[in-house]
Amino acid sequence: MLGLRPFQIVLLAGSLFIFLGSIAFLSVYRPDPDEDILKITDEVMIWGTLDRAVIDRQLRKITGNNERFSSIKYREYSEEEFIPEFVDALAEGQGPDLIVIPHYQLVELRSKLYALSYDFYTERTFKDTYIEGAEIFALSDGIYALPFAADPLIMYWNRDIFSNSNIAVPPRTWETLRNDTVPRLTRTGGAFDIIQSAVALGEYRNIRNALPILSMLMLQSGSNMVIESQDNYQIALQRGRTSGTGAGLSPGTASLSFYTEFANPASSLYSWNRSLPEDRQRFLSGDLALYFGLGSEVESLQRANPNLNFDVAQVPQGATASTLRNYAVFYGLAIPKQAKDVGVSYQVAATLVAPESAKTLAEGVDMAVVHRSTQAAGSIDQFQQVRNEAALIARGWLEPTRKATEQAFQTMVEDVTSGRIQVTGAINDAVERLRLAFE
């Protein structure tokens, strides 16, 4: 073997074994928070958009008085400033060691993040550990973030409005919502004036979660949304097996047609228009029966109106749907390529996303847990149980940037509601806008 002596061969083989073993350890080991293995001498900085006070409080719960974690710090940024600040910091060689990333920023930041190889962190391990929607962080060339929470779409309902109309429970299917809930709970006046709305659907600008709602409808209709393979992104809003009320139409067309019908004054489902206040505010004022919001909004709604008598439920599904679907924003800890020490960053991330630590973080920010083991244990908190169940059937999808997606979807909806373009044409235009945004 190249003239090497036996002891040199043994030495070389031993060194190679130790080297590969170290890499494998870095890639797959999940340190137990109770084990004394983290030896952090320099500050470990985590950046993100989640509330600093909440994250700091949860970090204290997780780390306690253990000095090994005393150098872990968290810095909060607004949604608008996070990516520009992160990119500028990387350019100056002063970036963070970890970032909290929502799945919709993954494509935009992918080239700047370290991917854990499947040679060491196997797909089997990832799938066995996390609920299915969290797999959005597992791309074709590796795992870009370790998940710790999901913020699913849920249905908030005004119990007084339902009770006053002799309706005991919120709608579980879209068919019930169309045929019973909307006709019984929508009150209109002259000149298309809406006094009380059953549901806020159909418009974009005054519906806070229009993008999550449309995504949920498309996912329920069977849309493949966006397909990724080796840095290539195929826009597939119109591709997939359509089911439910839109059977016979492509998924995107069926979803957009259903959604915009609620803003059509000529439709029996008319319950919303662009002149109304934002749906969240109308729900808080008691003039909206159903509000589709993220699970993390529960506490803020309670604070905004302590007298509002509301509850939460799962979003409706198609009456004949064989597969249940929802939408959620998934959050994970990602390692920048320019992190000072990738090994330390990984160990910190793995510690923070371990089942009990991740549960503390997720519930601290009013989100669902993503570990299968934690999901299986259930929750005695009434709101947390709904969030967890909603996340279990939820999916996200890869977006070029959140801004580009918002613009494409808003234009798509308003082209239809204004009568400028028919539904299929509006969907096709949105597909083209997204395709250009990915380039």
CA dist., res. 313 & res. 438, Å (int): 35
Verify that 177 and 113 share a domain, yes or no: no
Q: Indicate if the pLDDT at residue 19 is higher than 80.
A: no
The encoded tokens of residue 387 equal 């969030």
Task: Indicate the pLDDT class of residue 36, thresholds 50, 70 and 90.
Answer: very low
Verify that 424 and 340 share a domain, yes or no: no
The answer to whether 262 and 202 are in contact (CB under 8 A) is yes
Report pLDDT digits (tens) over 392-410.
Answer: 999 999 999 999 999 999 9
CATH code at position 84: 3.40.190.10
Q: Is 63 helix (H, G, I), strand (E, B) or coil?
A: helix
Report pLDDT digits (tens) over 288-304.
Answer: 999 999 999 999 999 99
Of 1-5, 106-110, 305-309, 360-364, give the lowest mean pLDDT range.
1-5
Q: Indicate if the pLDDT at residue 427 is higher than 70.
A: yes
Query: Average pLDDT of the chain?
Result: 89
CB atoms within 10 A of CB 256: 28
Residue 25 lies in a domain: no
Mean pLDDT of the 74-81 span: 94
DSSP per-residue string spanning 144-182: --EEEEEEEEEEEEEHHHHHHTT--S--SBHHHIIIIIH
Which DSSP category does 238 fall into?
E
Verify that 299 and 364 share a domain, yes or no: no
Mean pLDDT of the 157-170 span: 97
Task: Indicate the pLDDT class of residue 379, thresholds 50, 70 and 90.
Answer: confident
Verify that 158 and 259 share a domain, yes or no: yes
Percent of the chain with pLDDT strictly greater than 90: 75
Closest CA to 343 of 134, 31, 14, 73: 31
pLDDT at position 9, please? 47
pLDDT at position 7, please? 44
Q: Indicate if the pLDDT at residue 217 is higher than 70.
A: yes
Verify that 304 and 185 share a domain, yes or no: yes
Name the residue range of residue 303's domain: 152-326+398-438
Q: What angle do CA 421, 422, 425 make, to 5 degrees?
A: 80
CA dist., res. 162 & res. 286, Å (int): 11
Q: Indicate if the pLDDT at residue 35 is higher than 50.
A: no
Q: Indicate if the pLDDT at residue 20 is higher than 90.
A: no
CA dist., res. 198 & res. 200, Å (int): 7
pLDDT at position 67, please? 64
pLDDT at position 34, please? 40
Mean pLDDT of the 367-382 span: 92
Task: Indicate the pLDDT class of residue 131, thresholds 50, 70 and 90.
Answer: very high
Q: Indicate if the pLDDT at residue 40 is higher than 90.
A: no
CA dist., res. 280 & res. 61, Å (int): 32
Query: What is this structure's pTM?
Result: 0.89
Hey, which residues does 143 pair with through a beta bridge?
116, 138
Report pLDDT digits (tens) over 225-255.
Answer: 999 988 799 999 998 765 554 556 899 999 9
Verify that 54 and 189 share a domain, yes or no: no
Closest CA to 50 of 380, 364, 386: 364
Verify that 243 and 106 share a domain, yes or no: no
pLDDT at position 324, please? 97
Angle between helices 52-63 and 355-364 (to 10 degrees): 150
Residues 6+ apart with CB under 8 A from 200: 206, 207, 262, 271, 272, 276, 279, 282, 283, 288, 290, 291, 292
Task: Indicate the pLDDT class of residue 1, thresholds 50, 70 and 90.
Answer: very low
Q: Indicate if the pLDDT at residue 24 is higher than 60.
A: no
Verify that 231 and 212 share a domain, yes or no: yes
For the chain, the domain total comes to 2
Q: Which secondary-structure segment (H or E) carries 4? A: none
CA dist., res. 220 & res. 241, Å (int): 10
Task: Indicate the pLDDT class of residue 126, thresholds 50, 70 and 90.
Answer: very high
Verify that 257 and 209 share a domain, yes or no: yes
CB atoms within 10 A of CB 358: 24
pLDDT at position 241, please? 65
Verify that 121 and 246 share a domain, yes or no: no
